[in-house]
Amino acid sequence: KAMPELITVCWANGKPNQAIYGTQGEMEIFNPIEPRVYSTMDSLLREVKSRFPSNFIHLGK
């Protein structure tokens, strides 16, 4: 919700912004066709890398 312009809307039953609790939120997936997603993720991951010594980070479940 901090950067809604980078997130894609989740649909359910033909309606936008529908949460399916336990499966998906109303808006939760980065929009892969939005160019700003990539520059934002690049900045974020560079910041994370600068603060943690490991070469690996876990971004999933």
Please state the domain count of the chain: 1
Question: Measured on CA atoms in the order 52, 2, 20, 15, is the torsion positive or negative?
Answer: negative
Tokens representing 56?
A: 């690996």
From 8, 16, 7, 14, select the one nearest 40 (Cα to Cα): 7
Going by pLDDT thresholds of 50, 70 and 90, the confidence category of residue 16 is confident
Q: Say whether pLDDT at 5 is over 80.
A: yes
- Of 39 and 5, more confident: 39
Q: Does 58 reside within a domain?
A: no
Domain that holds residue 32: 4-51
Buried b (16+ CB within 10 A) or exposed e, 5-37: ebbeebeeeeeeeeeeeeeeeebeeeeeeeeeb
What pTM does this model have? 0.63
